[in-house]
Chains A and B, each alone.
Chain A
Amino acid sequence: MKENNLTILSKVLLVIVGLLFIGSLFVPMWRIELDAPQYPEGLMLQLHANKIGGDVDIINGLNHYIGMATLHTENFFEFTILPYVFGTFAFISLILVFINNRKAVFGFLITFVLFVILSGIDFYRWNYEYGHNLDPNAAIKVPGMAYQPPLIGYKQLLNFGAYSIPDIGGWMLTGAGILLFVVVLKEFKFKKSI
């Protein structure tokens, strides 16, 4: 029983993980930066836990040339769920301090990793959907061209360069994941030997 308990440091880290989850609710998680010669100042799409932000209207206006569907927060069920998911994650992180069980922490890390993989698949699916499902009456048609932004990294889409990367919230979640991993690593690897 005793070897399943958490060290003080791990508990502190778990609290930080919980705070990171809460914090990520208030800042954008992901950003897609677009730049083109006629937009020297660049355009930005920001995905928050609960909404799409940034230059959505301008991007929607531009996308109509190629027949891409317009983006609206209300068309994505994800934005109604994600705040609860992160809220729950934050709650679990804090509760784990009291549960005080390293196996439970390990379980949580697995859950989080699965969640990240699922989110990645979901994000890819949406990108694919928007980039391929084009209005046949669109003004500009380039044979064989799809406008799917990259899952992560850079891709040229016609005259636009699209750069898809985590935003502050995304980095906070990454940090939470790393901290969880550190806790698990520490608890399972070093604790036994002591």
Chain B
Amino acid sequence: MKNKFVKAILVIVLGSALFTSCKPKNSGDAVSGDAAQRVYVAPGKYDEFYNFVSGGFSGQMSVYGLPSGRMLKVVPIFSQDPESGWGFSEETKPMLNTSEGFIPWDDQHHLELSQTNGEVDGRWIFANANNTPRIARVDLKRFKTAEIIELPNSAGNHSSPFITENTEYVVAGTRFGVPGDYENGDVPINTYKENFKGHISFIKVDKESGKMDLSFQLRLPGVNFDLSHAGKGKSHGWFFFTCYNSEQANTLLEVNASQRDKDFIMAVNWKKAEEYIKAGKGKIEKTKYAHNTWNDETHTGTSVIKDEVLVLDAMAMKDICYLMPCPKSPHGCDVDPTGEYIVGSGKLAALIPVFSFDKMINAIGKKDYEGDYEGIPVLKYNSVLHGEVQKPGLGPLHTEFDGKGNAYTTFFVSSEVVKWDIKTLKVLDRVPTYYSVGHLCIPGGDSKKPFGKYLIAYNKITKDRYLPTGPELTQSAQLYDISGDKMQLLLDFPTIGEPHYAQAAPADLIRNNGQLKIYDIKKNNHPRVAKGEKETKVVREGNKVHVYMTMVRSHFSPDNIEGIKVGDDVYFHITNLEQDWDVPHGFSIRRAQTAELLIMPGETSTLNWKPTKVGIVPFYCTDFCSALHQEMSGYIRVSPAGSNVPLSYSLGTNLPASSTK
């Protein structure tokens, strides 16, 4: 007994000695002396890069400057934003409409900047909504969501929005296999293998306007599509998707979807798919999805429900899709700048397989198949493999490129970024991240022309990096300098939501893209605009009251309104008359049930308000606009329902007292 106790102590002492001596170096120690200087952006100076970071469960996108890590803006996309009135104003509500009505939140994972010739062009950025399958286009002249399209036949819109090299298409692969909307969905869950299907959507993007259109969908086996990237250069015309759960399990996936040694990377020949569509091989299927567009001249969103989608059965076509075996639950799927190498990262694998596009084309030519998977040819692993990066780390997730022949892969389990040579597959350098890194981003790192210089790692856990804020800590990113042979940690900076994927581009590319400073009031075609104080009025239509109001430093017109009654449905259509950069005004009403509005110079926005109490209700400007901002306010008199107080409004003059009853 005693002996055993001594042994146990010895084991613990020895074990901990061994453990402390092998303790890996902490990422906090890795900061070099002049890091602060290298991320310092002096007052009055601008950052070098814009970094667009997905907001995860916040549903929004945040914008940071690099290398400072300063947050510049949160752009509302899929979630309501009371700060700006997004999803609360009458004009923006249609933007969050879906085939199942208004859905005011989402889970935003990936972002993709538009490209021309495989290079980032700074025009738009696309965002996915994971929960209610949607794709948004944010206009980077305005930093405003311009379009949201819902995706039918999909569930868990994860492998999106990835684009082709001229932004011909935005693609979106479903994460969850589910029966198509055009099939009977009322089936036992354990009939997954027969009844569940996967659909990949191809959304066409208009070259000039950026307007999206759901062009067609591919009908595929019910596997989970995880991530994707388009081919480029020589592999332009192809798309690559990682697939997991090729076991097609429907319960306890953590065990049942990890059975096979290899899942797949699916290569899609979308040019071939286009040919089949042209030849009339697609089938129009019944469905329902919303397509919401923002009009910059009416300052209004419109939601249209569409009821058809063109579906091409890729399983029956045999030469659109090919599967490449990829070890253990592949996650990231990244194509190098030349378009030759496709990097698959198996979450559970201890190596990184790198596939060769040339070998793949060759193998397809020779029909070098090891069989098929529900009608889709499976290519032989060794025929398509360029090679494997040996012992890179544990849990490879995502890879980006610096344009100099190097790849950088994140390792979730071993919490590090590893730099390796794409051709020789030799590991060149590794740096620790704190803790459990997910995606990474190099400016232009998934394009034909990466800008190199910086790498940002987006981490899943933040313990001890920042001042604690209760059980929930801020989300986080880490900035590395990759301009030299060795990666160097420069900065930690907090982010909103859970950052997943991100994109970055040189600041000038975005700043000089025709960036908008104000909305031209002469081009304001909002149906209820008041282009000057003379056009302001209050109109009653039954129990609906429309207030055509203007705002200018430092008053509203009108600022006294009487004759509103309990039970009325009041719409404030407010136009900001300013034509001066950075002079928005805010509008808020006491006890407004929704939100405030933030209205840009020259813009018109509408707040709906339903008064429920008799009394005097003040309203005021919420965005400090001038020395007299505090004076920018007004009053509404709310009378009982059925009162005969006449409707009146004024600015600057007191009208004769209205009757009191």
Near B by CB (< 8 A), chain A positions 94-125 give none
- Give A57's nearest chain B residue, CB to CB: B579
- Give B552's nearest chain A residue, CB to CB: A61
B580 touching A61, Cβ below 8 Å: yes
Q: Bound state CA distance, A194 and B43, in angstroms?
A: 67
B579 touching A139, Cβ below 8 Å: no
Q: Is B553 an interface residue (CB 8 A)?
A: yes
A61 touching B628, Cβ below 8 Å: no
Interface centre among B553, B580, B581, B627 (most CB of A within 10 A): B580
Q: Is B578 an interface residue (CB 8 A)?
A: yes
- B552, B578, B580, B628: the one within 8 Å of A139 (CB): B628
Q: Other than the known A58-B580, A61-B552, what 7 A-B pairs have Cβ atoms closer than 8 Å?
A: A57-B579, A57-B580, A58-B579, A61-B580, A65-B626, A65-B628, A139-B628
A65 touching B580, Cβ below 8 Å: no
B553 touching A61, Cβ below 8 Å: yes
Interface centre among B552, B581, B626 (most CB of A within 10 A): B626
A140 touching B579, Cβ below 8 Å: no
A140 touching B627, Cβ below 8 Å: yes
Q: Which chain B residues lie closer than 8 Å to A57 at the CB level?
A: 579-580
Q: Which chain B residues lie closer than 8 Å to A58 at the CB level?
A: 579-580
- Give A58's nearest chain B residue, CB to CB: B580
A61 touching B627, Cβ below 8 Å: no
- Give A64's nearest chain B residue, CB to CB: B553
- Give A139's nearest chain B residue, CB to CB: B628
Near B by CB (< 8 A), chain A positions 39-69 give 41, 55, 57-58, 61, 65
Near B by CB (< 8 A), chain A positions 54-98 give 55, 57-58, 61, 65
Q: Which chain B residues lie closer than 8 Å to A140 at the CB level?
A: 627
Min distance, Cβ A88 to any Cβ of chain B, angstroms: 35
Q: Bound state CA distance, A140 and B554, in angstroms?
A: 13
- Give B44's nearest chain A residue, CB to CB: A40
A65 touching B627, Cβ below 8 Å: yes
Q: Bound state CA distance, A61 and B579, in angstroms?
A: 10
Min distance, Cβ B43 to any Cβ of chain A, angstroms: 12
Min distance, Cβ B156 to any Cβ of chain A, angstroms: 47
4 tightest Cβ-Cβ pairs between the two chains A and B: A58-B580, A57-B579, A139-B628, A61-B553
Contact sample, A vs B, 16 pairs, CB 8 Å cutoff:
A41-B581, A55-B580, A57-B579, A57-B580, A58-B579, A58-B580, A61-B552, A61-B553, A61-B578, A61-B580, A65-B626, A65-B627, A65-B628, A139-B627, A139-B628, A140-B627
Q: Bound state CA distance, A57 and B552, in angstroms?
A: 12
Q: Which chain A residues lie closer than 8 Å to B628 at the CB level?
A: 65, 139
Q: Bound state CA distance, A46 and B508, in angstroms?
A: 30
Min distance, Cβ B436 to any Cβ of chain A, angstroms: 43
- Give B579's nearest chain A residue, CB to CB: A57
Min distance, Cβ B651 to any Cβ of chain A, angstroms: 14
Q: Which chain B residues lie closer than 8 Å to A61 at the CB level?
A: 552-553, 578, 580
Digitize B228-246: 1 where CB-to-A-CB distance is under 8 Å, 0 elsewhere: 0000000000000000000
Q: Which chain A residues lie closer than 8 Å to B580 at the CB level?
A: 55, 57-58, 61
Near A by CB (< 8 A), chain B positions 27-49 give none
Min distance, Cβ A83 to any Cβ of chain B, angstroms: 25
Digitize B613-633: 1 where CB-to-A-CB distance is under 8 Å, 0 elsewhere: 000000000000011100000
- Give A38's nearest chain B residue, CB to CB: B582
- Give A140's nearest chain B residue, CB to CB: B627
Q: Bound state CA distance, A65 and B579, in angstroms?
A: 17
- Give B582's nearest chain A residue, CB to CB: A38
Near B by CB (< 8 A), chain A positions 114-153 give 139-140
Q: Which chain A residues lie closer than 8 Å to B578 at the CB level?
A: 61
Q: Which chain B residues lie closer than 8 Å to A65 at the CB level?
A: 626-628
